[in-house]
Amino acid sequence: TQLLEQSPQFLSIQEGENLTVYCNSSSVFSSLQWYRQEPGEGPVLLVTVVTGGEVKKLKRLTFQFGDARKDSSLHITAAQPGDTGLYLCAGAWYNQGGKLIFGQGTELSVKP
Amino acid sequence: DAMVIQNPRYQVTQFGKPVTLSCSQTLNHNVMYWYQQKSSQAPKLLFHYYDKDFNNEADTPDNFQSRRPNTSFCFLDIRSPGLGDAAMYLCATSRDLPKLAEPHNEQFFGPGTRLTVL
């Protein structure tokens, strides 16, 4: 069974702090995506990474794909209350149809 | 704006009473997915359609069925809902299935339908 371990599961921080969320697996992924989900809504795609060692930036969010394509991280600089939500990583393989394997999610709360 | 639409956003049904959830997309994507998401958990894939080709996950109960009458629409039928089927149901689309040359699998989700079973 292919698993994607995401940590931490819960994170409560003050506005202005930095944070990092990790996704780790023993499996190699063809691609990995990060989503953000607000309560009562569907996940919204933030970024896709496909190349080992790739780094992508989205304003204050920095995403990194591990060199071996088994792990990824999401770093948020100077978190704001609007960053509050559930962050999900999801891995995929080109030879397994459209199946995404999701991590357990990280519930982030940023307090003003 | 191109999007994934789910109706209704909230659905209440009775134990054992069949219910249908609908999804439509204006993205003209080939693949449509149905996920079940319970509180504080990650989405769980139930099945997907690649064009008209239906692909069921091995652990999806027989109680869950799906129809895709055309490219734009996909339905989730729950034949006899149980209390354990209360969840958020998410529809997603992707342009195509991942390939060796194009390994990414970007899926675009609808807002979900919250199902309550009484």
Nearest to A94 among B31, B94, B100 (CB): B100
Chain A residue numbers with beta carbons less than 8 Å from the beta carbon of B88 are 40
pLDDT score of A12: 97
pLDDT tens readout for residues B93-116 = 998 877 666 667 789 999 999 999
Nearest to A42 among B94, B97, B111 (CB): B111
pLDDT tens readout for residues A5-61 = 999 999 999 999 999 999 999 888 888 999 999 988 999 999 999 899 999 999 999
What is the pLDDT averaged over residues B78-88?
96
pLDDT score of B1: 64
A56: alpha, beta or left? (left if phi > 0; alpha if psi -120 to 50): beta
Q: Do B42 and A42 touch (CB under 8 A)?
A: no
Half-sphere exposure of A14 (CA within 13 A, CB side): 0
The residues, ordered by sequence, that sit 6+ positions from A21 with a Cβ below 8 Å of its Cβ are A6, A7, A8, A11, A73, A74, A75, A87, A89, A106, A108
pLDDT tens readout for residues B15-73 = 999 999 999 999 999 999 999 999 878 899 999 999 999 999 999 999 999 999 999 99
User: Rounded to the nearest 10 degrees, how much is the dihedral formed by the CA atoms of B58, B52, B42, B37?
Assistant: -90
pLDDT score of B13: 95
Residue B2 vs residue B40, higher pLDDT: B40
Q: Do A92 and B105 touch (CB under 8 A)?
A: yes
pLDDT score of A1: 57
Instruction: Give the count of Cβ contacts less than 8 A between chain A and B.
Output: 83
Which of the residue ranges A24-28, A90-94, A106-110 would you say has the lowest mean pLDDT? Answer: A90-94
User: Is residue B83 predicted with pLDDT exceeding 70?
Assistant: yes
Q: How far apart are CA A91 and CA A71, in angstroms?
A: 9
pLDDT score of B40: 79
pLDDT score of A64: 97
B99 in contact with chain A, both atoms CB, cutoff 8 A: yes
User: Is residue A98 predicted with pLDDT exceeding 90?
Assistant: no
Instruction: Name the residue in chain A with its Cα closest to that of B96.
Output: A98
pLDDT score of A101: 86
Residues 12-41 of B with CB under 8 A from A: 31, 33, 40-41
What is the pLDDT averaged over residues A77-85?
96
pLDDT score of B96: 84
Minimum distance, in Å, between the CA of residue A100 and any CA atom of chain B: 8
Tell me whether strands B53-56 and B44-50 are parallel, antiparallel or unpaired.
antiparallel
